[in-house]
A and B are shown apart, each in its own frame.
Chain A
C-alpha cells in the first residue's frame, strides 16, 4: 500500500464513491455529502446540482460568436428561403403569380419578398364567406364527437375568419396587397431567427445539458425553422392567393404562431426528455439532485 503509514492521505486520494463503498463495507457511517449522493432525495425540496460556471461561460461565449456570424449573414439565409419557396411554389403551381421577387429594407438588411396576387371580393362576396364561416364555427362547436381542446382550437380558428370576413364586409377595403403581406412575413421571419436563439440559450442554462447539447438546443430550432419557414410561406401564399385577404389574419394570428409555439414546445419536450432519461440513469450514482 502506497499510503500504508498515512491513512488520511490515502483517504484523500481515493475517489469519493470508492470511499463511500469502503466505509459502508466497514460498517462506518458515510460522510453526509457522499451519503447525499447515494440517497434518493424526496422530490419536495430537491434541486439540480450546480453546473460548472466556466463551462457555462465558455458555451455562452461560443453561442454568442456563432449567433453574431449568423446575424451578419442572416440576409443570405432569408434570401435563400425565399428562393426555395419560389421554386417550391412554381413546382406546386400555386401562388406567386409571375414568380418575381421584390425587395424591402428592414433592420439594415435587404429582404426579397415574393410578389403574388390576392383576390378581392365585393360586399356580397364577403357576406357569403362570413355566413359560411359562421355556420362552420357553429357546427364545430356542436360536434361533440371531436376531442374538446381540438374542437375549441378549430372553432377559434374559424371564428378568426368569421371576424375577418365581417370586418371586410363592413369596411370593404383590404389594406394590403400580396407584396405588403409577403414583406410582413419576411420581417417576422428575420426577427424570429435573430431573437429565437437568445431565449433558448437562456432557458437552457437552467438544465444540466452538456455544451454540445446546449448549443444544439440554442441553434437547432433556427435550423429547423429555416425549412419550416418555407412551408409556412407556401401556406401563407396559398391561403392569400386562393382564399383571399380575409384568410391572412388566420395565418398571422393563429396558425403561424401556434405552429411556431407547438414546434418550440415539441423541441423543448424532446430536450427535456433527453435530460430526464440521463438523470434517471445517473440518479443512483448521485450528482443529480441536492438539497
Chain B
C-alpha cells in the first residue's frame, strides 16, 4: 500500500482518537461535577416575587391524541390566569385537533388557538406566526405530548427576572417508561442528558441548551434575531447559539420536571434521532464560526459550544475511523503496531464509548434509579442504533446544503391510549 496513504489513514485515526478523548474527558468532568460538586441553583428562591405575564405556545400537527392532555395540564396550572395566555397552534392538522382547540377556546377566554392552513408547515414556521400574536414579552413553549405540572409555568417564568437570561429550559422526564424496552432506554438517555449533562453545563457556566419542548424565551430577543429559521429543523439549538453569541444566557431548571411521551416504536425513534441529527448539523454549519469568534463567550464556553455543535458528527467520525482501521489492517499497515496506534485503537473503540455509559449510570444513581441500572449493557446496542440514525441525519443535512431547499418537517407519532 502507498506509504503516503498509510500515513494519511493513520493520521486520521489519531485525529479521531483525540476527538474521542476530548469528548470522553468532557463526559467525565460533567459527571464528577454533578456527583460531587456544589450545584448552581435555578431561581426557585424567588418564587414569591411579582409574576410576569406569559404567553404559552403549544405547536400541534394532528395531535388529537394528546391535545386535551396538555391543555388540561396548563389549565390546572397554579399560575394566575389573568397573567397567562395560551396559544395552541393547529399547524395544518387533518384530524380532530381543530375541533378540540375550538372547544377549549370557547370555554376558556385565555386560550386563543391559532389555525394555520396556509404557508409553510413545521414547528419553526408555526412558532413564528404565533409569536406575532403573542401579547406578552415572556413566551413559553411546550410540545403537545407534554404534561407540565401545576407549578411549571411559574418556575420557568421566574428565570426572566434575571435580565441576562434570554431563554430557559426545564428537565424532560419520560412518563411512559413502562411502555417498552425502548422507553426505558430513552429514560436512561434522558436522565444522563439532563441530570448530568445539562445541569453540569449550567453549574460550570458553559452552554446549557434551550431544548424547545419545555422552555421559554423573550419575545423581543427572538424578534431581534429575525425569529426562528424555518429551514432549520433544530430551531432550539439554533436559538441557543443565536442567544449566546449575542451575549444572552440560557438558564436550566433541573427542578422543573416536565413529563413527555417517548416513542414506543424503534422506527419512530430512528426517525426522531435522525431528524435531531439533521437539524443539529444544520445549526452546526450555521453557528460554528460565530461561536468561535463571539466576543461574549469565554474560552471554555467556546470549547463547550463547539463540542456541543459537533456532537452529532462523532458517530460518523467513528465509523470512518473504523473503515480506515479495516483498510490498514487488511493491507498489513497495522502490523508494526505502534504503541500510539494501539492506544488510539483502544480509545476509539472502548473507552471513548464507555464514557457516556458512566455518565448515564451516574445520572440514574442521582435520580434514585435502582433496577434500571441493569439496562446499561443493552444501551451498547442502542448506541449502534443511534450511530446509524445520526449518520442518516448527517447525510440529510449535507443534502440540504447541496439542494438549498427547505426540509420537510416530520412529526413524531404518538402512542397515548
Which residues of chain A have a CB within 8 Å of any CB of chain B?
42-48, 50, 107, 147-150, 152-153, 156, 160, 163-164, 167-168, 171, 173-176, 180, 183-184, 187-188, 191-192, 195, 199, 202-203, 206-207, 245-246, 248-249, 252-254, 257-258, 260-262, 264-266, 268-269, 272-273, 275-277, 279-280, 291
Contact = CB atoms under 8 A, between A and B. Distances in A.
Nearest to A157: B384
B325 A249 contact: yes
B350 A164 contact: no
Given A45-B39, A167-B326, A262 B373 contact: no
A265 B39 contact: no
Nearest to A48: B35
Contacts of A150: 381
Interface in B247-282: 254-255, 257, 266-267, 270
A42 B365 contact: no
A248 B323 CA distance: 13
B22 interface: no
Interface in B1-17: 1
Interface of B: 1, 28, 31-32, 34-39, 41, 171, 181, 195, 199, 254-255, 257, 266-267, 270, 322-323, 325-327, 329-335, 337, 339, 342-343, 345-346, 349-351, 353-354, 357-358, 361-362, 364-371, 373-382, 384-385, 388
A256 to B, nearest CB: 8
A147 B381 CA distance: 10
A120 to B, nearest CB: 12
Contact of A265 (B36, B337, B357): B357
Contacts of B39: 45, 47, 291
Contacts of B31: 206
What does DSSP make chain A's interface, helix, strand, loop or mixed?
helix
B350 A261 contact: yes
Contacts, number: 178
B254 A44 contact: yes
Contacts of B36: 47-48, 50, 206
B377 A187 contact: no
B353 A261 contact: yes
B255 A42 contact: yes
Nearest to B376: A269
A284 to B, nearest CB: 13
Contact of A43 (B337, B366, B380): B366
B331 A275 contact: no
Given A175-B331, A253-B349, A153 B381 contact: yes
Nearest to A46: B366
Contacts of B374: 269, 273
Contacts of A277: 370
6 contacts: A47-B37, A47-B366, A156-B388, A180-B332, A258-B380, A268-B361
Given A42-B255, A149-B385, A252 B330 contact: no
Residue with the highest number of chain B CB atoms closer than 10 Å, among A150, A206, A266: A206
Residue with the highest number of chain B CB atoms closer than 10 Å, among A107, A167, A183, A277: A167
Contact of B342 (A153, A191, A249): A191
Contact of B358 (A248, A257, A268, A280): A268
